Amino acid sequence: MTEPTDIDHDLAVTSRRRLLREGGALIGGAVVAAGLAGGEALAAAETDNLPPNVPEWMKAPGDPMGSQLYGTPSPFEKGVIKNIPKNLPQYLSASGRTPLQDLDGIITPNGLFYERHHGGVPTIDPAQHRLMLHGLVDKPLIFTMDDLRRFPSESHIYFLECSGNPVYKKPYGKTASDLVGLLSCAEWTGVSLKLVLQEAGLQPGAKWVIAEGADAAALTRSIPIEKCLDDAMLVYSQNGERLRPQQGYPLRLLLPGFEGNMNIKWLRRLRVAAEPTYSREETSKYTDLMPDGTAREFTFYMEAKSIITRPSGGQKLSAPGFHEISGIAWSGHGTIKRVDVSVDDGKSWQEAQLQDPVLTRALTRFRLPWHWNGESAVIQSRATDETGYVQPTLPELLAVRGDNYFYHNNAIWPWRIAATGEVTNAYA
């Protein structure tokens, strides 16, 4: 795979400037043309809401504020919803994907945050919810939600991703949401797990914390003590409001950069232990089989990854000319250092611009100006994180891991753009 050189970078910068100049002229011309041609069609359709007319919505007061006690999106955005598979039983083992291709920035709205649960979504009264902390501690404790909120709070922006996002098996899906929609990013507010463990006092030999949820599945995972004493959090709020039931209300464990199922929702118990518990979710599930049939014991981190969300599968370019390529990148090992984009099926790469803020273990948005010539093209992105790890292609990943693999697919994902402007999954 050819790495971009300094010359490539200089050419990319010059090209971006030229595209912006040319693109501005093209867009300006398109607007004028659309105004002339479109005006006739709209007049024929007796549409009176365009300039210079006064639109209908200016002629009478709008809805009163009291009609929406909790704000909702515009009815014209009613198609921006969670992607819930029609053939997946939605009561016991269920998932709903974020419509990544419809979003901007890096923060996922709470109503569109992906969800994954194994025993339905419990309805928990926070006044009756308790967190038990016991095992290899000096002082076993039981916390109410009020007790936890008395600890100093902190807020951080982190992504959360399911390790089966996407799986290695075909069919892979049509849209960015189909492929990697089990991914979202939010500002989380809560308490440092380290503080809570220090309150109880860790005993010698404390190497693991066994976390258990209060759902019907009693989902349980083993967390290494090093992570618990680093950036792990007990969170009760998301994007400024209390957690939603689908996200673990009233309390969940948050482990930045670790695979999603370890971030136990509806958290009710923490048992400090000398050994992992080897629960169902870390033995028969969420383990990675190697080519020889053996399984990796634990795979905690989500590796560096990226995907172009615009243009992406299911979308269509309206006309040749200037288009902005935009997408998201993330890594469980820290910050994204660069994203390269190819518009010629991986033959050459250009460095994209990273949009601020660039945060550790959070989504990072990237952008690249592009002049589409109207011919068939394959576009793709490649992320590099602060450790120097470079996102691999799917063939490279399969060559190392084999066909037995199911989780932790962080491969480069290409989109094919037809001469008609239609965008499809290049691997489909």
Q: What is the CA radius of gyration of the chain?
A: 24
In angstroms, rounded to a whole number, what is the distance separating the alpha carbons of residues 205 and 157? 32
pTM of the predicted protein model:
0.88
Report whether pLDDT(61) > 70: yes
**For 397-414, what is each residue's pLDDT tens digit?**
999 888 888 899 999 999
236, amino acid identity: Y
Confidence at residue 68, expressed as pLDDT on a 0 to 100 scale: 75
* The pair of three-digit structure tokens given for residue 254, joined into one six-digit string: 């948050």
Going across the sheet that includes 377-385, the strands are: 350-351, 336-342, 377-385, 415-417, 423-425
Report whether pLDDT(40) > 70: no
**For 204-218, what is each residue's pLDDT tens digit?**
999 999 999 999 999
Confidence at residue 71, expressed as pLDDT on a 0 to 100 scale: 87
Task: Indicate the pairing of strand 220-224 with strand 208-213.
Answer: antiparallel
Residue 67's pLDDT band (boundaries 50, 70, 90)? low
Report whether pLDDT(417) > 90: yes
In angstroms, rounded to a whole number, what is the distance separating the alpha carbons of residues 247 and 92? 15
In angstroms, rounded to a whole number, what is the distance separating the alpha carbons of residues 71 and 414? 37
Region at 9 (left for phi over 0; alpha for psi -120 to 50; beta for the rest)? alpha
Residue 296's pLDDT band (boundaries 50, 70, 90)? confident
Confidence at residue 86, expressed as pLDDT on a 0 to 100 scale: 77
**For 5-37, what is each residue's pLDDT tens digit?**
443 444 444 444 454 444 444 444 444 444 434
Is the alpha carbon torsion for 100, 101, 102, 106 positive or negative?
Answer: positive
In angstroms, rounded to a whole number, what is the distance separating the alpha carbons of residues 65 and 286? 47
Task: Indicate the pairing of strand 267-273 with strand 131-135.
Answer: parallel
Taking every pair of Cα atoms in the chain, the longest distance, rounded to a whole number of angstroms, is: 81
All structural domains of the chain: 94-296 (3.90.420.10), 305-425 (2.60.40.650)
* The pair of three-digit structure tokens given for residue 343, joined into one six-digit string: 């518009």
